Amino acid sequence: MNALLEIKDLKTWLDSSGGTVRAIDGISLELARGETFAIVGESGCGKSMTALSLLRLLPEAGQVVGGSVLLGGEDLLRLPEAAMRGVRGRRIAMIFQEPATSLNPVLTVGMQIAEVLQRHTALRGEAARKRMLELLDAVGIPDPGRRLDEYSFQLSGGLKQRVMIAVALAAGPDLLIADEPTTALDVTIQAQVLELLRELQRRKGMAILLITHDLGVVAQMAHKVAVMYAGQIIEVAAREQFFRAPLHPYSRKLFQALPGSERRGGDLAVIRGQVPPLTTEFRGCRFAERCDSAWERCHAEAPELTAASDAHLVRCHLYQQTEGEGKRAEQTLPGAARVHAESDIGDSSQSGAALLSIRELKVHFSIRKGLLKRTVGQVKAVDGMSFDIASGRTLALVGESGCGKTTAGKAILQLIRPSAGTVRFEGRELTRLRGRALRERRADFQLIFQDPYASLNPRMRVADILAEGMKALVLADTPAQRAARMDRMLAQVGLNAEAKRRYPHEFSGGQRQRIAIARALAVSPKLIVCDEPTSALDVSVQAQILNLLKQLQRDFGLAYLFITHNIAVVEYLAHEVAVMYLGRIVERGTVDEVLRTPRHPYTQALLSAVPTLDQAGERRIIRLKGELPSPANPPSGCHFHPRCPQAMAECKLKYPDAVRLGGSHEVSCLLYAAS
Amino acid sequence: MPILPVILWTDALVYLLVATVAGFVWYVRRHEHLRAPWWRVAQTPAAMSALVVLTVFILIGLLDSLHFRLALPAAPAPQADRAASRDVAYAVEVKSALDLLLSPIADKPERTYSAPLATHAYAKETVESQDVDGKPGKQVRAYPRLRYGGAHLQDPQRDWRADVLLSAFRGMALALPLWLLLSLVLVAACTPAERVASRDFWHAVWRGKTVVPWRAILITLALLLLVAVPMALLAARYHVLGTDKVGLDVLYQSLKSVRTALVIGTLTTLVMLPFSVLLGIMAGYLRGLVDDLIQYFYTTLNSIPAVLLIAAAVLALQVYIETHPDLFPTAAQRADFRLLWLCIILGITSWTGLCRLLRAEALKLRELEYVQAAQAFGVSEWRIMLRHILPNVMHIVLISVVMDFSGLVLAEAVLSYVGVGVDPSMISFGTMINAARLEMGREPMVWWSLASAFVFMLALVLAANLFADAVRDAFDPRVRVGGRKLRFAVGR
C-alpha cells in the first residue's frame, strides 16, 4: 500500500510542574490517499497532541522526542522550519473544533482565504478571487460573492466552519486534519458538515485524519479507526471490523457506556477509576487498573500492539497467544453488544398528578437601543410553552442551540422572570411569588449545570459549597446537622466524606459534576432541572452521571426536566420528550411515540441527522436548508416553514395548533391538522 | 513620663493598614488556593530582591510613623509652684522614632548649602581672618569651614581624603559580619532548622538552586549593607549627601521623604478601594439602574481634569486649616491633616479605573453557573456579591493596588512640584524636587538635592514595580508565562 502519511513510533513529551507528561508515547499509523482515518479517545488521551505534533505546532513546553512522521516519504520532523511552513496549509491543512475562534474577527472571509493562496499558490488578483469563489461554492456557501467581503461575526456557526474548511482546502492539501470538526455544532449542522467533508474527499481524493470523541461520527465517516488511551494507540481496525467486534476491553466498555434506547432500564457500563496521569512511569498495561479482565501479567508487563486477526491490531495481553493463555479472551469477556433487555420503564409510567405544570410560558427580552433605552423589538426566547411533569418522571426538552430550552429552564426556576404564562408547582403559582415567599419554595426545585468547571466557585471548599443552599434555605439548623447531611449527600453521589475539606480544582470533571448534584440534593428538592449535565463530559464519565441520576430518581422519586441536544441520552433516560424549535414546542409525547414515530418534519430531520453506530448508507439524512432563524425576527406562520421540506402555502399564514395524535402524542403541524 | 505619644491621622491609618496586612497574611496562610500564587511570587528572584529593598523602605516609614512630643527639661520651679510643676511641659515640636535615631545627623544644621562630604561651605562668604595673636584681622572672601561637616579634621586639605576613605573601608568591613549575621537570622526564620544545619542546603543557596531564591535575596542584602553601613559611619562626621539652603542634611530629608511617599502610595489605595470595589461589583452584578447611575457617576468624575480638582480641593483645605488654627495645635498636625486630605482627594480621582475593571469582571462572573446556582438557592444578592463575586475579583484588586502604588508615589512628586501637594513644611520627594527648581538655576549648580530625591525615588518605585510585575504574573490567569524550558535530554 502506498501510504501518504506514515507515523512511526512518535513520542511527544510535555514539561509541566508535575513532571514530564508523556502525552504521546510511541504511536504508529499509516494513512493512504483518499482514506479517512479516525482517532477516537476520551479527553486527555493525546489525540489533539498527535495532530499538533504532525504540524510541529506544539506548545512551548512540548517537544517531539522521538519517532518520525513521513509525508510522501519525507520526514517532517527533520525539515527546517522554513520548509515546514511550505508544508502547513499546502500539503497538510487543519480545521479546528471551535469555528468561532479560529477565524480572525477583523479580517474578511476573502482576506483569510487570500492569505493561504498568496503563501502557497501563484494566484493573484482576479484569478485569486475566482478561485476563492470556487472554494466557497465548493463548501456549499450560498451567495459566495457577498460572503467573501463579510466578517466572521456576520456568519453563523455552520457557515464559519464551512469557511474554515474553505481556507483549509485553498491550496489543495493532500491531508486534512480535522480536530473535532463538528463538536461545537448542532446535529443538523453537523450532518451538513460531515456530508460536505465526505463529498470533498470523494472529489479531491485527499486523506482525512479525523480526531473525535464521538463514536457516532466515526461510524459515519471513517474507513479506519484507531482508539487512543493514555498516549498510546490500543486498537486499530477497519471501520466494519471495529464496530462489529471491538476487541480491547476499553473499546468494548466505551460501546457499553453509550446511552441509547436498548439500554433503557438497565445501568450503563462504567469504567471504574480515571485515566492515569501521564506523568507516571507505566510498567504494565495502562488500562490494567480499570480493566475487569486484568490479571497479574497485565500489571507486570506492557502489552505490544499485535495483530489479533487480519488487519485488526490490539494492544492487550488477552489476544497475545504466546503463553497458552490466548483463550482467555473468550472466557473473560462477555459479548460486546450485551444488551440489558429488562425494562423497568414501564412500571413507572403511571402519570400521577402533575408536580410541575406550565401553561403558555413566555419569556421575551426587550431589545433596547439609543440613549433613552427605548424598546425597539422583542427577542421571543420562549414563546408559549405548555407541559406537565409528574413526580418521579423525566421530561426531556430537546432542541438545537438557540431554541430557548435553557431560557425555559431558568424561567421555570424563576431565575428569569417569565413575561407571561403560569408555572404551577404542586398547585402553587410561582410566577407571582416574590422575595421571601419565593425563597421558601426554592428548596423544591433545583438546577444542575452543563459545565462542572464553571458551576462550582473555585474559591470555596466543597463543604462551603454544599452548605450554602442549606444555610440560605435554613434547612438544617446546627452545623452538626448540616455536616451530617453533607456526609449523607456525598455518600449518595459516591464521594468520600473527606472531599468536604478540599477545593473544586482538586477533582476531575465527573467528580465535580457529582459535587454539583450533591449541592442540589442537599436541600431535598422534588424537581431538578438538568441543563445539559453530561455534554461536557467524556462518554465513560457521562455513563456514571446518567446512572447516578437514574438511581437518585428511583431512591427519591425526583422529577427531572432534562434539557439536552443529545438524542441518545434522551432515549436512555427520559419518559417523555418535548421537541423545541424557536421558542415553541413542536412535538411532544412519550419517548417511544416521539423517537420511534416522529411526526413533525423538524423532529424527523433532527433524528435523521443524529449519527448512529449503524452503518451509514441505509439511512437517509433529511437535509435542512439554512440555519435556525433569529428569535428576534421569527418567520411568519409556522416558524419552521422556510426550512421545512414539506412546507405548504398555508404554512406561511398561521402558526399551527397542537394536534393530538392519540396517546399523549401532540404535534404542531398543519400536515396533521386535517386528519 | 518623658514623652507624650501623638497619634496623627495618617499614623492611625498606617497602623490600621499594618493590622489589615497582618490579618490578610494570616488569612492567606490558611487558604491553600490563596497561598499558591504568593508562593509563586516567593519563587521569583527579581520580586524577592525587590521585596528586600521595599522592606527597608517600609521599616523606615514605620519608624517615622511613631510620633511623640518630648518632655521639656523641668524648669527649676519655686516651692509654691509645686503643683503646677507636676504637669510636665512638652515640646511643641512633634518628633518621630526616626528623628531620634537620626538626631546625630538631623541636629547638625549648617548655615546654608554644602556639597556632599564637604568640609567647607559651597559659597564664598566674607569672613574676618584672624591673626596669630587672635586680633581681628581684615575681612576676606573665603569658603568658611562648616560647623559640623568634617569639623574634627585639623587640616582638611591634607586629611580629608584619607579620613573619608578610611571611614568607608571601615564601614565595608563592618558590613560583612553584619551581613553574615542578618543572613543567618533571615534564613533560619524562614526554613526548618534541620535544613539550615545541612551543608547541602547552603551549597544549593550558593548555586542558586533553592526554591526560594535565597541567593538573590542575600546578594541584594549584601549590596544594601555595603552602601548603608559606610554611609552611616560617614554620616556621623560629614553631611554625606550635602545640605540644603537652610543647612539641613539632605540624607535626613531623603529618609524622611520615604514615609510621605509610602503614605501617599498606600493610604490612597486604602481610601479608594471601598469605592471601587463596592461600586464596581454593584454595577456589574446588579445591572440596570444601579449600573447606569454608577457608570454616569464615574464617567463624569473621570471627565474632570484630575489636577484641577486636586488643586481646588487642596487650596480650599488650606483656607480651612488657616481659619481653624485651634483644631491643629502643632505644625506637624497641620501638615499631616493636609497629607491625609491629599490621599483622599487622590483616591477620589483615581478609583474609577479599578471600578471599571471590576464592573467588567462582575458582569462576566454573574453569568457563571455557580452564581446562578446560588440564586437558585435563594441566596441574597449581598451575600452572592460577598461570597461569590468578591473573592473571584480579589486578584484584580491586588494587582491594581500594587501597580498603582508606584504611580501614586510619582504623582505626589508632581503635585508637590506644582505646589498643590503636601504642606511645604513637610519633607517629601516633591518638596525636595520643588526646591531644586531654584538650585539647578544658580551658578555653581546645587545638584545633590535633586540627585538624592531622584535616586531614592527610583529605588523605591523600581522595587515596587518589579514586585508588582511578579504579583501580576502570579495572580493574573491571563498572564500565564509559557512553560519552562525543557529540562529533559532530547534523544532522537
Instruction: Considering only the beta carbons, identify the residue of A65, A454, A460 that sits closest to B369.
Output: A454
> Measuring CA to CA, which residue among A91, A70, A64 is closest to residue A7?
A70
- Return the half-sphere exposure (C-beta side, CA atoms, 13 A cut-off) of residue B2: 1
For the cut 80, the answer to whether the pLDDT of residue A262 exceeds it is: no
Q: What gap in Å lies between CA A492 and CA A392, rounded to an integer?
A: 18
* C-beta separation of A316 from A247 below 8 A: yes
d(CA B10, CA B13) in angstroms, rounded, equals 5
pLDDT of residue A454: 85
- DSSP states along A34-60: T-EEEEE--TTSSHHHHHHHHHT---T
Cis ω for the linkage preceding A656 (within 30 of 0) = no
Integer Cα distance of A569 and A263 in angstroms: 10
Name the range with the highest mean pLDDT among A11-20, A162-171, A317-326, A531-540.
A162-171
**How many C-beta atoms surround the C-beta of residue B60 within 10 A?**
20
Cα–Cα distance measured from residue A256 to residue A336, given in angstroms and rounded to the nearest whole number: 7
Most A CBs within 10 Å, among B371, B377, B379, to test the A interface? B377
| Domain boundaries of chain B, sorted by first residue | 9-65+252-475, 153-235
> Which residue is closest to B393 within chain A, CA to CA?
A459
Count of residues making up chain B: 492
Burial of residue A249 (number of CB atoms within 10 Å: 0-12, 13-18, 19+): buried
Tell whether the model's pLDDT for residue A194 goes beyond 50.
Answer: yes
* Cell numbers found for residue A173: 492539501
What is the per-residue pLDDT for A238? 92
B490 touches chain A (CB under 8 A): yes
% of residues, chain A, pLDDT over 70: 93
Is residue A471 within 8 A of residue A550, CB to CB? The reply is no
Q: Do B370 and A454 touch (CB under 8 A)?
A: yes
Residues A611 and A220 sit within 8 Å (Cβ to Cβ): yes
Note whether B377 contacts A469, CB cutoff 8 Å. Answer: yes
Confidence class of residue B490 from pLDDT cuts 50, 70 and 90?
Answer: very low
| Distance between A505 CA and the closest CA of chain B, angstroms | 9
Please state, in angstroms and as integers, the Cα–Cα distance from residue B276 to each residue in B14, B282, B300, B341, following that order: 20, 10, 15, 18
The correct answer on CATH 3.40.50.720 for the domain covering B9-65+252-475 is no
Q: Which residues on chain B are in Cβ contact (under 8 Å) with A440?
A: 378
Place A527 in a pLDDT band, splitting at 50, 70 and 90.
very high
Predicted pLDDT at A631: 80
Q: Is B30 on the interface with A (CB under 8 A)?
A: no
Q: What is the pLDDT of residue A344?
A: 44
Q: Which residues of A touch B375 (CB under 8 A)?
A: 415
Computed over every residue of chain A, the mean pLDDT equals 85
Q: Which residues lie across from B317 on neighbouring strands? A: none
Confirm or reject contact between A522 and chain B (CB < 8 A): no
In this model, does residue A283 exceed pLDDT 90?
no
User: A529 pLDDT exceeds 70?
Assistant: yes
Residues of A in contact with B374 (CB under 8 A): 468, 472
Q: CB-CB: which of B375, B377, B482 is closest to A60?
A: B482
pLDDT of res. B78: 55
- Is residue A522 predicted with pLDDT exceeding 80? yes
Q: Which residues in chain B are contacts of A410 at CB distance < 8 A?
A: 372
Neighbours of A314 (CB within 10 A): 27
Question: Which residues in B lie closer than 8 A to residue A65 (C-beta atoms)?
Answer: 488, 490-492
Amino acid making up residue A79: L
Reduced 3-state DSSP string for A13-40:
EEEECCEEEEEEEEEEEEEECCCEEEEE
Q: What is the CA radius of gyration of chain A?
A: 27
Report the gap between the CA of A479 and the closest CA in chain B (Å).
18
> Can you tell me the mean pLDDT for B231-257?
88
Q: List pLDDT tens digits, range A264-281.
A: 777 888 887 778 888 888
CA pair distance B18, B54, nearest whole angstrom: 15
Domain A346-611+619-672 has CATH 3.30.70.20: no
Q: Do B379 and A413 touch (CB under 8 A)?
A: no
Nearest to A439 among B32, B374, B378 (CB): B378
**pLDDT at site A208:** 94
Fold of domain A3-243: Rossmann fold (3.40.50)
d(CA B419, CA B413): 10
Helices and strands in chain A, H and E counts: 22, 24
Which has the closest alpha carbon to B273: B398, B156, B435? B398
- Per the prediction, chain B carries an average pLDDT of 84
Instruction: State mean pLDDT over B182-187.
Output: 87
- DSSP letter for A320, please: -
Number of residues written out for chain A: 675
Q: Are strands A312-314 and A306-309 parallel, antiparallel or unpaired?
A: antiparallel
Taking 60 as the threshold, does the pLDDT of residue A324 lie above it?
Answer: no
CB-facing half-sphere around the CA of B110: CA atoms within 13 A: 33
ipTM: 0.80
pLDDT tens digits, residue range A131-185?
Answer: 999 889 888 888 888 889 989 888 888 888 889 999 998 888 999 999 988 887 8
Q: pLDDT tens digits, residue range A37-47?
A: 999 988 878 88
Q: What share of chain B in percent tops pLDDT 70? A: 92
Q: How far is it, in rounded angstroms, from Cα B338 to Cα B335?
A: 5
Residue A299 DSSP one-character state: H
Confidence class for position B472, pLDDT limits 50, 70, 90: confident
Q: Report the gap between the CA of B374 and the closest CA in chain A (Å).
A: 7
Q: A103 by DSSP, 3-state: which?
A: coil
| Nearest-angstrom CA–CA distance, B370 and B146 | 72
The partner residues of A70 in beta bridges, in order of sequence, read A6, A75
Distance from C-alpha of A524 to C-alpha of B357, rounded to nearest angstrom: 39
Chain B residues whose CB is inside 8 A of the A520 CB are 373
Provide, as residue numbers in chain A, all residues whose Cβ is less than 8 Å from the Cβ of B391: 457, 459-460
pLDDT above 50 for B482: no
Q: What is the arrangement of strands in the sheet containing A36-40, beginning at the earlier edge strand?
A: A92-95, A175-179, A207-212, A36-40, A224-229, A232-238, A312-314, A306-309
Q: How many CB atoms lie within 10 A of CB A486?
A: 23
A575-625 pLDDT, tens digit per residue, is 999 999 988 999 999 998 898 889 999 999 988 888 877 655 556 778 777
Beta carbons of B488 and A13 less than 8 Å apart: yes
What's the rounded mean pLDDT across residues A195-199?
89
Dump pLDDT digits (tens) for B294-330: 999 999 988 988 888 888 988 898 899 889 888 888 8
What's the pLDDT band for A469 if we cut at 50, 70, 90?
A: confident
* Residues B472, B475: Cα–Cα separation, whole Å: 5
Q: Return the minimum-mean-pLDDT range out of A49-53, B3-7, B170-174.
A: B3-7
Contact (Cβ atoms closer than 8 angstroms) between residue B315 and residue B345: no
Q: Hey, how many other C-beta atoms are within 10 angstroms of the C-beta on A427?
A: 9
The answer on pLDDT for A331 being more than 90 is: no
Reported as a single tens digit per residue, the pLDDT across B69-93 is 888 776 655 555 555 555 677 887 8
Q: How confident is the model at residue B459 (pLDDT cuts 50, 70, 90)?
A: very high
Stretch B120-133: mean pLDDT, rounded?
74
Position with higher pLDDT, A117 vs A376: A117
Q: Does B477 reach chain A within 8 Å, measured CB to CB?
A: no
What pLDDT score does B483 carry?
A: 39
User: Which of these, A418, A394, A640, lies nearest to A529 by C-alpha position?
Assistant: A394
Q: Indicate the residue of B375, B383, B388 with minimum beta-carbon distance to A457.
A: B388
- Asked if A516 and B373 come within 8 Å (Cβ–Cβ), the reply is yes
- Chain B residue at shortest CA distance from A10: B492
Residue type, B70: L
Question: Which residues does chain A have within 8 Å of residue B385's beta carbon, measured at their own beta carbons?
Answer: none
Asked whether the beta carbons of B39 and B211 are under 8 A apart, the reply is no
Contact A333, A326 (CB under 8 A): no
Is A413 in contact with B374 (Cβ distance < 8 A)?
A: no
Q: Which of A331-335, A644-648, B389-393 ranks highest by mean pLDDT?
A: B389-393
Residues on chain B touching A454 (C-beta within 8 angstroms): 368-370
Question: pLDDT-based confidence at B177, cuts 50/70/90?
Answer: very high
The 3-class secondary structure across A230-257, one letter per residue, is: CCEEEEEEEHHHHHHCCCCHHHHHHHHH
Indicate yes or no: CB of B482 within 8 angstroms of CB of A468.
no
pLDDT of residue A36: 93
Residues of A within 8 A of B372 (CB-CB) are 410, 415, 447, 449
Q: Which stretches of A170-263 are DSSP H helices?
A: 187-204, 215-221, 239-244, 249-257
pLDDT band, very low/low/confident/very high, at B463 (cuts 50, 70, 90):
very high
B383 interfaces chain A, CB cutoff of 8 Å: yes
Where are the CATH 3.40.50.300 domain residues in chain A?
3-243, 346-611+619-672
What residue has cell string 509652684?
Answer: B81
Q: Dig out the grid coordinates for A546 from the structure.
A: 446518567
Rounded to a whole number, what is the largest CA-CA distance in chain B?
A: 102
Cell (9 digits) for A130: 475566482
Cell numbers describing residue A350: 403511571
The residues near A36 (Cβ < 8 Å, ≥ 6 apart) are A201, A207, A208, A210, A221, A222, A223, A224
DSSP string, A484-543: HHHHHHHHHTT--GGGGGS-GGGS-HHHHHHHHHHHHHTT--SEEEEESTTTTS-HHHHH
pLDDT tens digits, A362-371? 999 888 777 7
Task: Tell me the C-alpha to C-alpha distance, in Å, between residue B63 and each of A219, A329, B106, B126, B253.
Answer: 76, 80, 15, 41, 15
How far is the C-alpha of A355 from the C-alpha of B226, rounded, in Å?
80
DSSP-based three-state secondary structure for B282: helix
Backbone angles phi, psi at A425, to 5 degrees: -120, 120
CB B390 within 8 A of CB B408: no
CB contact under 8 A, B377 and A413: no
